[in-house]
Amino acid sequence: MTILLIDAGNTRVKLGWLDRRSGRREQRALVLAHEHIGELAAQLERLDLAPQAAIGVNVAGTAAGQALSRILEQRYAISVQWIASHPHAAGVLNGYDIPAQLGPDRWMSMLGVAHRAQRAPLLLASFGTATTIDTLAPEPADTAVAMDSLPREHAERGMAGHGAPGPRGRPPCRFHGGLIFPGPALMRSSLANGTANLPEAQAPIAAFPTYTHQAISSGIAAAQAGALLRQWREGLQRFGQPPQVFSTGGAWPLVEEEARRVLARAQQDLGLPIQDIEWLPAPVLDGLAALASGGDFCS
């Protein structure tokens, strides 16, 4: 069975696929701007894909979700299973006070990176229309939630309920929460729209900017990288070891240089091994694939 994986984001839609029998995935995600959603069927046919099921998350709004659902129903006679956030899934516990309020894209990203949090905490920084910086860590064995303590209806659910946290006795990972703030483009446009004299600026980043465009670009990069470093330091204090940092999102190139620089400097100042930031192309699709395949990644 080929399952279509859909990540409907604020500015574009990413699509992947999973062959449940072989576990084979797309080599590269298909990306459609919102105004090109109508091309979905033609793009899938060009790739020789005829999905038998579809699973996805939608933060793009009702219209985008309805358009995607309509195309798949008319062309392939399948309904999209739109996923919401739940208390736990695929070995990950949702640490939000009200789990359902966590954005489904952030939740799926946590499932997508869970196999990387086997022994150490991690941060996933997603730089898009909004920037989110989320923390995931394995639960200590002596504090992990036992399977017997979970509600029976959750432990018995399949994909529709996001699955059980894992085999009996295995400690799950926990999503510890994270930040949400405007992404680089929103920061730039808010300065241009909210002030009389500041432009939509793009310029090289500098420690001490000497002209306005450079001051704006440097300020935005510093704010984004500073938030990332703040969460890294908080993780180091909470878990007693430095979190591994992952990045994703279309705006990453705008802040990459500054983020790598400040993190490396902090690691050096603390006498820690230099651990670079690792780029992930599609953690939301990875999470959807984990959910669709019934995977359990935390150990």
Summarised one tens digit per residue, pLDDT across range 85-104 is 999 998 899 999 999 999 99
Buried b (16+ CB within 10 A) or exposed e, 190-213: ebeeeeeebeebeeebeeebeeee
| Amino acid sitting at position 280 | L
Check whether 191 has a pLDDT greater than 60.
yes
Q: How far apart are CA 149 and CA 153, in angstroms?
A: 12
Residue 133 has pLDDT above 80, yes or no: yes
| pLDDT band at residue 142 under the 50/70/90 scheme | low
Domain boundaries, the chain: 2-82, 117-284
Q: From residue 99, give the alpha-carbon distance in Å to each of 65, 85, 94, 195, 253.
A: 22, 6, 6, 38, 31
pLDDT computed for residue 168 by the predictor? 44
Q: Rounded to an integer, what distance in angstroms lies between the CA atom of residue 273 and that of residue 267?
A: 7
Could you give the CA distance from residue 98 to residue 77 in angstroms, rounded to a whole number? 34
pLDDT for the residue 146: 46
pLDDT band at residue 132 under the 50/70/90 scheme:
very high
Instruction: For helices 104-113 and 283-293, give the axis angle rounded to 10 degrees.
Output: 80
pTM of model > 0.85:
yes
Question: Which residues participate in catalysis according to the annotation?
Answer: 105
Per the CB < 8 A criterion, the answer to whether 68 and 37 are in contact is yes
- What confidence tier does 151 reach under pLDDT thresholds 50, 70, 90? very low
- Averaged pLDDT, 10-31: 92
Domain 117-284 = CATH 3.40.47.10: no
Q: What is the mean pLDDT of residues 175-181?
A: 97
* Averaged pLDDT for residues 264-284: 97
Task: Average the pLDDT over each of 15-24, 169-178, 228-237, 238-247 and give the range with the smallest value.
Answer: 169-178
**226 sits in which H/E element:** helix 212-239
* Residue located via tokens 């992930």: 280
CA 196 to each of CA 127, 192, 200: distance values in angstroms, whole numbers, following the listed order: 27, 7, 12
> Lowest-confidence range among 8-22, 176-190, 197-211, 254-268?
197-211
Beta carbons of 129 and 190 less than 8 angstroms apart: no
CA neighbor of 89 nearest in space, from 295, 231, 299, 264: 295
CATH code 3.30.420.40 for 2-82: yes
Query: What pLDDT is stored for residue 272 in this prediction?
Result: 97
200-245 pLDDT, tens digit each: 778 889 999 999 999 999 999 999 999 999 999 999 999 999 999 9
Average pLDDT value over all residues in the chain = 88
pLDDT of residue 214: 93
